[in-house]
A and B are shown apart, each in its own frame.
Chain A
Amino acid sequence: MSEPFDSIGFIFLLLTGLGLAFSRTMIGFLFSFFMGLVGVASFFLYLQMPYLAAIQLVFYVGGVFLLFIFALFSTVEDKEIPTWKNHLLNLAQQVRANVWTIIFLLGLVLFVSPYLTLGSDAGNSRVYSEDIQRMGDEFLKNSVLSFEFSSLILLSALVSALFILKKMQKSFGEKT
């Protein structure tokens, strides 16, 4: 196996670091986080764990990141009256967002193309299917009890959080 510096994930890692350090808007900050998640998925691909990479993309990029975006749009603070200065600032933000989008699309192309090459390799595909079968066996035979127990704990955590939130909202509504 080659060094991890050869992986495309390091480009995502570098962009994530720069974005987290220098982004001034929250949407840019979250977009940097998004690139970090894709970078982790590409590192999983580098380690020849495509199942984990797919789960990472579906769970994080498809689920958790959308939750972040939803929460961001639900917590937008009141804005000031628009002025020419604000218009220029908005224009600068739009330009910056477009640059980030172009970088993301270029990264996506670079990220997807080596994966297609890996998928066309018959030997690697056979190894991947064996790995997935082995993980399925582990899930359903050796670790089934622990994962059922953990799923119950996670479900109870979700339900209790919703219950607490509803109770707090009720008390907050009575005060106001």
Chain B
Amino acid sequence: MIWFPAFCFFVLGLGCLLMRKQMFGLLVGIEMLFNAAHLQLAFGQLSTNNPNGELMVLFGLLVTAVEAAVALCLMIYFFSGLKSLQWDRAEELHES
């Protein structure tokens, strides 16, 4: 049952991605999916007993930090154009 926390985080992230209409919800869902992957990598290291799992988690942390910075930057631009954060209105930004 050691994989169960990672599975829970995966389900929570998937639920955020599917249920939320705001861009914050999408981004939080993606971050939760990344966290589930990090936990699974850390759990996998226990069985193999080499430090590659921890290194991959560290690399994943760097990637998610940059991804969050870029996504929030684009989100602020999206809001400055449309005064809304509903992702289904992204087509209007393209038309304008």
Interface residues of A (CB under 8 A from B): 3-5, 7, 9-10, 13, 16-17, 20-21, 26, 29-30, 33, 36-37, 39-40, 43-44, 47, 49, 51-52, 55-56, 59-60, 63-64, 67-68, 70-72, 74-75, 77, 131, 134-135, 138-139, 143, 147, 150-151, 154, 157-158, 161-162, 165, 168-169, 172, 175
Chain B residues in 8 Å Cβ range of A59: 61, 65
Please tell me if the beta carbons of A36 and B9 are within 8 angstroms of each other in the complex.
yes
Min CB distance A37 to B, Å, is: 7
Chain B residues in 8 Å Cβ range of A10: 5
Min CB distance B35 to A, Å, is: 5
Please tell me if the beta carbons of B58 and A4 are within 8 angstroms of each other in the complex.
no
Please tell me if the beta carbons of A134 and B51 are within 8 angstroms of each other in the complex.
yes
Within 8 A of A (CB), among B1-43: 1-2, 4-5, 8-9, 12, 15-16, 22, 24-25, 27-28, 31-32, 35, 38-39, 42-43
Give complex CA distance A175, B80 in Å.
13
**Given known contacts A37-B35, A154-B63, A165 and B12 CB-to-CB distance under 8 angstroms:** no
20 examples of A-B residue contacts, CB within 8 angstroms: A4-B1, A26-B22, A26-B24, A30-B28, A40-B38, A44-B42, A52-B42, A52-B54, A60-B61, A63-B65, A64-B68, A67-B69, A68-B68, A75-B79, A161-B73, A161-B74, A162-B73, A165-B77, A172-B80, A172-B81
